């Protein structure tokens, strides 16, 4: 919430009320706003304040503040930028994370705002920049570093500036040359092409040629000769000298100091815990390559400024590297990286803002006379694949798979493991989805065999199926959707399960109609309902559910006080499925007979409060890699690098990426990655769960999906603004982007693929002979705590190294930032509609029914609001926004209708909620 006061700089008025980037520059010791057209132009002689405002999937808008200091900026401007960043934080309610950015050493997060790159300009920013006419075009040589985010630095125009490890761009008046060092990776070369495209569009207005030059290959190509002639002729580039950089210690250096009246006093302690941080004090956490300043809630702006100044003085006096990042955090907004240095940092309980908002909306509907019992979850009402496909289920039985008859395949046992194949209609052919379902009572050998057998079935299937590993009680909604009706019994039928319980003297709980059994009924509709057998005791009950209690030849149905009419309908349907001849006695919670409690072994306490599903965080994308430890060939280091502000273009074909959706994860395998089997991909997914990069308490039983490039299912692509044509491109990342840059889209159609396994045979080397540097994979969470700090080369308690990166752009080569314009309002979001005209009102766009598009009546906004005093009659209340005129829609939503309906549905609903249209 904004807290603008009389002392707030006028430049900050209304700051943070629009999505996207806002930038200010220090000019003549005053802060001036930088127009959007100049957002990418950073002058090395100036200091800037940058605010990024974003809207997470759930909750309120969030802000990140960066202050950028050019290499030639003076001390006064730099100090003012630092103070103004803190002032802006206070104006926004002290709810931001602040980053100090030094030219040439910017954080991955900062660079992700300016895709594909920023190229600092010499001189200082002036509000009225002089236009220079007739000046000779300056030839420049740029060094590019990075595979998912690019650091671009101008270097002297000399052969000695070139090396074998990096990518260089030589920009001349008529032609742009891309020079690729022989040791550079395909990804780095591809990112270099994005920078070339950016320069071509912004400095040459597309009127120049592009040439690529490969290090070490001089075969008479005229463009290669032209390139070297600009350096005075060809000559070999000397080999780089051995690196003098010392290896970093196994355990990062970490030291906590308290800030008192501008002085830093070390805290003497062997370990760090949250209780050490007092809410009325400021602290500095020195992590060697990164510095954190933690500011308690009850500290003043003056105390915070003093602490930050003391920290900056400390860095100067210590002679720290310019690459040492500084992050300033207010209590309660600690980043993942910061929390990782403390022992057992407590998990924060987040307010269920989303759920509260849903209840308020339901209340408003009721106030207007609509009967609304509850608002179902989006996941419940929107399956992401066709659920009318065919199902096959096998039970793991010793060393073989036993196909279960169709009549029994919707009845499975907790003591067994199963392989499920679901075939459903795709766009051009049938698609396959495989699950290895591992019962919670199953034995380890069966679990291993289930995964192995699933992989064998996948390899024998044409196309590139998606596979998933699922543990009982952690099933994703997609799993239940394809079964439609599922009964999970206790016990098992596999030989290994029977042997295990016999050898360990465990009673056999396998379901038997003659035994007492208790089933919890759950689901969202008759096409998605389950009965789960639980322990037949009172504490297994829950007021939010309905239950079936079987005892011999009779049965009870128990209806919890917090259950819905939908639950009651599912209860009746499930009772008929489990045993159609039972005449059950219906029991309401609170009116149970002694007989009922006696069957359950006596009355006992059970959960009676309403169960509220935790609101879903935004997904996070990571690139994973495994490299050999230089000190030991037998030891591999697992590295995780977060990609900020990710898009589909971040799914680079040489990498393996992981999308962390928190209740399930997706391992995406690029066609040219070094992964040789989907089993390896599952292993990487498990390794990611072990490291718990975002310190979110991920369970090792979290479902893991494995997705192959070019065969992404809808339930994966929904997390992106997906362009299907990009899935039909072939070649490595460099070849793909070069084809687009050269205007050869006809070469991008991919050949028909065989199985995924066949595609993985030759992934060690990319098609043009360049070897990919590492095997990677990735996952995500856009507005996550992890975005508060880069995770660079830090070992977790499990000795896994974390690092972080940033993302490319929504378009392959964008002309401007993908962020919204300053006029775009922060309002949550709804769904595309296709309605016909009703009666009364004005026709939108003057269209007639049947002409296509949105043929709607239009009403004023005040009549469409849920809380309107004069509501429009006869409208579809679930699609109120569709009745706005195009002009009024633009005013309230800050975008055109066509752009709004391209947003994910959850974003649409959030925007509609904020405008009282949901």
Predicted pLDDT at 632: 59
| Residues 415, 441 contacting (CB under 8 angstroms) | yes
**Burial class (CB within 10 angstroms; exposed 0-12, middle 13-18, buried 19+) of 28:** exposed
Q: Go through 171-194 and write b for each residue having 16 or more CB atoms within 10 A of its CB, e for each that does not.
A: bbeebbbbbbbeebbbbbbbbbbb
User: How many residues can be counted in the chain?
Assistant: 918
Predicted pLDDT at 382: 63
Say how far apart CA 815 and CA 109 lie, in whole Å. 19
Predicted pLDDT at 3: 54
Domain boundaries, the chain: 10-113, 142-231, 255-340, 390-600, 620-742, 861-915
Rg of the Cα trace of the chain? 30
Which ranges of the chain have pLDDT less than 70?
Answer: 1-6, 129-135, 219-220, 241-252, 348-382, 612-616, 628-635, 744-856
CA atoms within 13 A on the CB side of 320: 21
Over the stretch 666-691, which tens digit does the pLDDT of each residue have? 999 999 998 878 888 999 999 999 98
Pick the CATH number of 390-600 from 3.40.50.300, 3.50.50.60, 3.40.20.10, 3.20.20.70: 3.40.20.10
Predicted pLDDT at 768: 35
Those residues with Cβ within 8 angstroms of residue 7's Cβ, 6 or more apart along the chain or in another chain: none
The residues pairing with 556 across neighbouring beta strands, listed in sequence order, are 549, 585
**Whole-prediction pTM value?**
0.77
Question: 255-340 with 861-915: one CATH topology?
Answer: no
CATH architecture of 861-915: Orthogonal Bundle (1.10)
Q: What pairing do the DSSP bridges indicate for beta strands 704-708 and 665-669?
A: parallel
CATH code, residues 620-742: 3.40.20.10
Say how far apart CA 45 and CA 709 lie, in whole Å. 44
Say how far apart CA 164 and CA 452 lie, in whole Å. 43
CATH class entry, domain 142-231: alpha beta
Say how far apart CA 704 and CA 647 lie, in whole Å. 21
Q: Go through 786-815 and write b for each residue having 16 or more CB atoms within 10 A of its CB, e for each that does not.
A: bbbbbbbebebeeebbbbbbbbbbbbbbbe
Q: How crowded is residue 890: how many other Cβ atoms within 10 Å of its Cβ?
A: 16
Over the stretch 876-899, which tens digit does the pLDDT of each residue have? 777 888 889 988 888 888 899 888
Following DSSP, what letter does each residue of 117-151 receive, concatenated? ----BSS---SSPPPP-SPPPPPEEEEEE-SSS-E
Over the stretch 442-488, which tens digit does the pLDDT of each residue have? 999 999 999 999 999 998 887 789 999 999 999 998 999 999 999 99
Predicted pLDDT at 876: 74
Pick the CATH number of 10-113 from 1.25.40.10, 2.30.110.10, 3.40.630.20, 3.40.20.10: 3.40.20.10
Predicted pLDDT at 852: 32
Predicted pLDDT at 655: 93
Q: Which two tokens stand for residue 88?
A: 């802006």
CA atoms within 13 A on the CB side of 297: 6
CA distances from 80 to 28, 50, 330 (A): 11, 13, 20
CATH class entry, domain 255-340: alpha beta
The residues pairing with 30 across neighbouring beta strands, listed in sequence order, are 27
């Amino acid at each position: 919430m904004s807290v603008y006061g009389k002392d707030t700089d006028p430049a900050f008025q209304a700051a943070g009320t629009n999505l996207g980037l806002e930038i200010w520059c220090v000019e003549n010791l005053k802060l001036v706003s930088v127009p959007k057209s100049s957002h990418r132009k950073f002058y090395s002689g100036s200091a800037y304040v940058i605010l990024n405002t974003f809207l997470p999937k759930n909750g309120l808008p969030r802000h990140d503040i960066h202050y950028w200091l050019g290499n030639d900026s003076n001390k006064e401007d730099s100090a003012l930028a630092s103070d103004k960043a803190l002032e802006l934080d206070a104006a926004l309610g002290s709810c931001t994370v602040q980053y100090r950015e030094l030219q040439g050493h910017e954080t991955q997060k900062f660079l992700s705002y300016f895709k594909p790159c920023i190229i600092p300009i010499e001189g200082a920013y002036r509000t009225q920049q002089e236009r220079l006419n007739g000046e000779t075009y300056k030839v420049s040589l740029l060094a590019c570093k990075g595979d998912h985010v690019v650091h671009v630095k101008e270097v002297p125009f000399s052969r000695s500036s070139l090396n074998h490890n990096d990518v260089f761009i030589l920009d001349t008046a008529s032609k742009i040359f891309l020079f690729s060092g022989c040791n550079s990776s395909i990804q780095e070369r591809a990112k270099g092409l994005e920078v070339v495209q950016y320069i071509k569009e912004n400095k040459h207005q597309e009127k120049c040629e592009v040439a690529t030059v490969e290090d070490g290959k001089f075969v008479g190509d005229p463009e290669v000769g032209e390139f070297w002639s600009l350096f005075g002729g060809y000559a070999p580039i000397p080999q780089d000298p051995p690196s003098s950089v010392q290896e970093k210690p196994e355990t990062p250096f970490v030291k906590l100091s308290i800030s008192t009246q501008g002085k830093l006093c070390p805290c003497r302690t062997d370990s760090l815990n949250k209780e050490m941080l007092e809410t009325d004090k400021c602290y500095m956490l020195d992590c060697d390559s990164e510095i954190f300043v933690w500011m308690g809630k009850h500290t003043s702006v003056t105390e915070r400024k003093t602490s930050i100044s003391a920290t900056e003085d400390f860095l100067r006096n210590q002679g720290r590297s310019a690459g040492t990042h500084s992050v300033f955090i207010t209590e309660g907004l600690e980043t993942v990286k910061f929390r990782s240095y403390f022992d057992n940092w407590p998990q924060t309980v987040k307010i269920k803002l989303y759920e509260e908002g849903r209840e308020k909306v339901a209340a408003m509907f009721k106030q207007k006379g609509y009967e609304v019992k509850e608002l179902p979850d989006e996941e419940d009402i929107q399956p992401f694949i066709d659920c009318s496909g065919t199902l096959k289920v096998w039970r793991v039985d010793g060393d073989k798979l036993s196909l279960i008859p169709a009549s029994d395949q919707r009845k499975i046992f907790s003591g067994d493991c199963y392989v499920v194949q679901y075939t459903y209609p795709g766009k051009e052919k049938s698609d396959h989805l495989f699950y290895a379902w591992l019962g919670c009572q199953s034995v380890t050998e069966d679990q291993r065999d289930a995964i192995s057998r699933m992989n064998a079935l996948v390899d024998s299937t044409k196309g590139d199926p998606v596979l998933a590993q699922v543990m009982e009680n952690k099933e994703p909604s997609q799993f239940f959707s394809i079964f439609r009706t599922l009964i999970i019994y206790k016990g098992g039928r596999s030989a290994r399960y029977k042997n295990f319980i016999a050898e360990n003297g465990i009673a056999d709980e396998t379901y038997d109609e003659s035994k007492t059994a208790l089933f919890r009924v759950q689901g969202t509709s008759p096409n998605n309902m389950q009965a789960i057998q639980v322990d037949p005791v009172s504490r297994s009950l829950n007021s939010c559910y309905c239950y079936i209690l079987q005892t011999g030849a009779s049965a009870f149905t128990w209806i919890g006080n917090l259950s819905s009419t939908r639950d009651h309908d599912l209860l009746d349907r499930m009772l008929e499925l489990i045993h159609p001849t039972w005449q059950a006695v219906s029991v309401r919670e609170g009116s149970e007979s002694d007989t009922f409690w006696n069957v359950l072994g006596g009355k006992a306490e059970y959960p009676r409060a309403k169960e509220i599903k935790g609101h879903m965080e935004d997904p996070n994308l990571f690139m994973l890699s495994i490299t050999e430890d230089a000190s030991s060939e037998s030891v591999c280091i697992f590295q995780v690098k977060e990609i900020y502000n990710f898009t589909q273009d971040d799914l680079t074909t040489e990498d393996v990426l992981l999308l962390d959706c928190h209740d399930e994860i997706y391992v995406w395998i690029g066609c040219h990655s070094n992964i040789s089997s989907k089993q390896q991909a599952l292993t990487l997914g498990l390794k990611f769960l072990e490291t718990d990069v975002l310190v979110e308490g991920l369970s090792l039983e979290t479902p893991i999906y494995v997705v192959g490039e070019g065969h992404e299912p809808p339930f994966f692509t929904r997390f992106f603004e997906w362009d299907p044509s990009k899935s039909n491109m072939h070649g490595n990342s460099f070849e793909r982007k070069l084809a687009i840059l050269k205007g050869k889209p006809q070469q991008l159609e991919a050949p028909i693929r065989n199985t995924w396994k066949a595609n993985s045979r030759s992934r060690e080397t990319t098609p043009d002979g360049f070897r990919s540097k590492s095997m990677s994979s990735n996952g995500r969470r856009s507005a996550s705590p992890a975005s508060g700090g880069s995770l660079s080369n830090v070992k977790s308690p499990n000795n896994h190294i974390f690092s972080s990166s940033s993302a490319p752009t929504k378009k392959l080569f964008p002309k401007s930032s993908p962020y919204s314009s300053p006029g775009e309002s922060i309002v949550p979001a709804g769904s595309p509609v296709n309605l016909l005209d009703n009666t009364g009102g004005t026709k939108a766009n003057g269209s007639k029914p049947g002409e296509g598009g949105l043929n709607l009546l239009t009403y004023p906004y005040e009549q469409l609001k849920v809380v309107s005093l004069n509501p429009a009659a006869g409208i579809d209340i679930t699609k109120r926004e569709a009745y706005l005129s195009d002009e009024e829609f633009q005013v309230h939503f800050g975008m055109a209708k066509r752009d709004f309906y391209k947003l994910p549905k959850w974003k649409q609903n959030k925007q509609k909620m904020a405008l009282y249209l949901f």
